[in-house]
Structure 1
Amino acid sequence: MSTKSKVWFITGASRGFGALIAKDALERGDKVVATARNPTTVIEALGNHPNLLALKLDVTDEAASIQAAKDAITQFSQIDILVNNSGYGLLGAVEESGDKEVKDLFNTNVFGLLNVIRAVVPYMRKQNSGHIINISSIGGYASYPGWGAYCATKFAVEALTESLAYELQPFGIKATTVEPGFFRTDFLDSTSLVSTEKSFPEYAATVGAMREFAASANHAQPGDPTKLSKAILALVDSEEPPLRLPLGSDTVHKITEKNQFVQKELDAWKDLAVSTDYV
């Protein structure tokens, strides 16, 4: 386990996971570049600190992402850890999800993440080290009714991270996708979760039930965000970090359940699957 002081670049660092990770990193002596659409909110959350650089960043702006990475290098000379934490949720049936709603969601959760990765990776390649941590979700491994568009963005994050892990390995750069379950943050608040404008009564039994669950579960989730932050610190200190890090007992349960389902379905359809080869 490495305990050398590190330089972090964290998006969405004014609240939730981002703020907690930044706080813990600063407390142990690391340097942190913490970004948000309004950097004042970063200072309000973390206070003034000599090892903190609060930057304005809308991840959907590629030029701003490039500039933020340059500012980070100017201030701290390197970037050891990139935490792509910016993102939000969209709750609604696939049919209910409007074109603009889905495009806006992908612009932040996927294309914004790519903007920051493209801005930071050249510096990591130059220093022959680094660790990219993309905050996904259990929704990046298994989908649920009402979360189709959101899960699609997180499935994309998982695929991108897996490719990055292979592509960046020769440069000494690691990549991990973190899959939190339901943690007691503001994710289910209106500040982080958007409901589709359309709501069809035909989906009352599925998506409607999910909307009711989300409302009742808000701030009653089983996961402890402070423990997640400590887990991220342990992750970055590991010499051999995993490609995927599930966090939360609910995530572990869902992954196990899905793996069993996939294996059962594969076994049932294997003969037809392999019959399509040339013989």
Structure 2
Amino acid sequence: MVGKTNLGVALVTGASSGIGQAAAERLADAGYTVFGTSRRAAYTGQRSFEMLTLDVTSDESVAAVVNEVIRRAGRIDLLVNNAGFGVAPAGAEESSIEQARSIFDTNFFGVVRMTRAVVPYMRHQGSGRIVNIGSVLGFLPMPYGALYAATKHAIEGYSESLDHELRTWGIRVSVIEPAYTKTPFDANFLEPDAKLDAYREARAVVSNRVNEVMATAAEPRVVADVVLKAAVAARPRLRYTAGALAGRLQLLRRFMPAGLVDAALRKDLRLGMIPSPRSGKPVLQK
């Protein structure tokens, strides 16, 4: 176990609750000086880390927070990009272009903004770690979650390229891939803004299944432990799954024939229970 030593300065986005809060607390307990961020006004209650107000969709807000951390701490050794949101289970065409842009602006371009603001300081230091919170949906997309999965795929590709580029300056990049996790994030999905009656049955079936699985989902601390592992590893890996389910899904994706993975995913989500638009009877959708 990592001792209570000075491990440097960490900046964690989306740290007001859920995975971000758990990660910030775990890092602070391990010995990091942690600055957490949230879009809302900084929380003033008792925490093991300080909160700053940040909107990752704003260039000005990102620059102001990074400059504030540098002014007060002199450096940033670890950036944890966690801020993000999802759309409730729905067909891909049930979100407008504006909503699609919105989720990418936070989930992906928020990561890009934060990275661009922090990397110059890490290059000057000659060291640093960037840990991006991805998802198993970044390598195994689920039906009726297309936009969220797309943002997580984007993070996967961006992170891998970035890791190649930055290791020359002693900076490494890792992606954490959790499965279902008990967080307020899941309780506050954004509703699709262009709902169609054609997807009503599918939305209900998939939403019910997701709610069932969430009842036994992993706690945020499971992900937080993996964030710390990636942050302090002497030879960090590019990808880390978080939790038993995520590990199993990674193995299935890697070694199981694609057709069997596809069938298993659809069976688990109970897509065969959705009535056919032609007959009105449930059919097994292959």
TM-score (ref. length: structure 2) = 0.83
Say whether the 8 Å CA contact 2:226–2:240 is kept in structure 1: no
- Kindly tell me: are residues 207 and 255 of structure 1, through their superposed partners in 2, closer, same or farther at Cα, counting changes over 3 Å? farther
The residue type paired with residue 12 of structure 2 is I
1:35 to 2:37 alignment? yes
1:243 to 2:238 alignment? yes
CA RMSD of aligned residues (A): 2.1
Say whether the 8 Å CA contact 2:18–2:182 is kept in structure 1: no
Structure 1 residues 204-236: Cα deviation after superposition (integer angstroms, max 9, x where no partner): 554432122233444x13312223212222221
Structure 1 residues 67-97: Cα deviation after superposition (integer angstroms, max 9, x where no partner): 2111111111111110000001113211112
| Distance apart, 1:13 and its partner CA | 0.8
TM-score (ref. length: structure 1) = 0.85
1:56 to 2:53 alignment? yes
- Kindly tell me: are residues 76 and 66 of structure 1, through their superposed partners in 2, closer, same or farther at Cα, counting changes over 3 Å? same
Say whether the 8 Å CA contact 1:20–1:229 is kept in structure 2: yes
The residue type paired with residue 10 of structure 1 is V
Once residues 198 and 38 of structure 1 are traced to their aligned partners in structure 2, the CA distance between those partners, rounded to angstroms, is 27
1:112 to 2:107 alignment? no
| Distance apart, 1:120 and its partner CA | 0.4
Once residues 186 and 88 of structure 1 are traced to their aligned partners in structure 2, the CA distance between those partners, rounded to angstroms, is 10
Report the counterpart of residue 146 of structure 1 in structure 2.
144
Structure 1 residues 85-115: Cα deviation after superposition (integer angstroms, max 9, x where no partner): 0001113211112111111101100111111
Aligned length: 257
The residue type paired with residue 32 of structure 2 is D
1:71 to 2:63 alignment? no
Once residues 23 and 212 of structure 2 are traced to their aligned partners in structure 1, the CA distance between those partners, rounded to angstroms, is 27
Once residues 172 and 146 of structure 1 are traced to their aligned partners in structure 2, the CA distance between those partners, rounded to angstroms, is 40
Identity %: 30
- 2:118 aligned counterpart, secondary structure: helix
The residue type paired with residue 60 of structure 1 is T
Point out where structure 1 has 5 or more consecutive residues left out of the alignment: 266-279
Say whether the 8 Å CA contact 1:59–1:116 is kept in structure 2: yes
Structure 1 residues 237-265: Cα deviation after superposition (integer angstroms, max 9, x where no partner): 11011100111222122222222356779
- 2:94 aligned counterpart, secondary structure: coil
1:224 to 2:219 alignment? yes
The residue type paired with residue 9 of structure 1 is L
**Greater mean alpha carbon deviation, residues 91-100 or residues 123-132:** 91-100
